[in-house]
Copies of this chain bind each other. A is one copy, B any other.
Amino acid sequence: MPKVTLEHFAQRKQQILQDCIVCFSRKGFHQTSMRDLCEALNISAGGLYRYFGSKEEIIHAMVEEDHTQWLSAFSTLSPDLSFRDSLVALAAMAEQIYTTSREINSVWLQIHAESASNPTVQKLIEQHYRSFSKMLEQVIKRAQARRELTSHFSAAVLASFIISAFDGLMMRMVVDSTVSSKKLSRDFVNIITQLTDNREDAA
């Protein structure tokens, strides 16, 4: 009779996805052929297509992978943390997500670029940012309520700004190899917290 796999299948699929990420980060989606993938993963074409029905499907899976990774990371964030500590924790998550497998960085950037010409990807990313923004706004609003963060700017605008700054940092890390992510992200946290902390707004 058959083989009673299920989680085994999912596990293998996950492993394949990770390997694909490495390949894509090195050569780019559209420069990496299915043949390239097969060779690198030691799998045949037919084998690979059992796990992902198309190249597109792999791309979508990568977006969702990153999305869920961030969701679960965010869920571990205690509401009791100060604004600064929340930021520090988020930066640490970014460290962990984006440097334990350094390749994700480049793939994530590629996905953003892809979204300009790929409506499906665009929709996935937009939705990712929507929920991500929401969560960050919660943190900001709590900090503002506690008066440890200036209320000069709306939570939505601040969230947008912070996300952009870190997206830009990620971009920079891909482009400039001399950037030390650890040092820079710490600098960024310092700047943001210093710049947003509450001082009896004497402007």
Contacts and interface: CB of A to CB of B under 8 A. Distances in A.
A199 interface: yes
Interface of A: prevailing SS: helix
Interface stretch (A14-22, A37-45, A70-78, A114-122): A114-122
A50 interface: no
A164 interface: yes
A26 B166 CA distance: 26
Nearest to A179: B160
Contact of A168 (B125, B171, B203): B171
A65 B26 CA distance: 26
The interface size bin for chain A is: 35 or more
A52 interface: no
A126 interface: yes
Nearest to A130: B176
B175 A125 contact: yes
Contact of A188 (B161, B177, B187): B161
B175 A161 contact: no
Contacts of A172: 129, 160, 163-164, 167
Interface string A172-201: 101111000000100110111011100100
Contacts of A25: 116-117
A165 B163 CA distance: 9
Interface stretch (A3-11, A105-113, A138-146): A105-113
A158 interface: yes
Nearest to A191: B161
Nearest to A165: B165
A177 to B, nearest CB: 8
Interface string A16-35: 00000000011111110000
A97 interface: no
A120 to B, nearest CB: 13
6 contacts: A109-B113, A125-B175, A161-B165, A164-B169, A164-B172, A194-B203
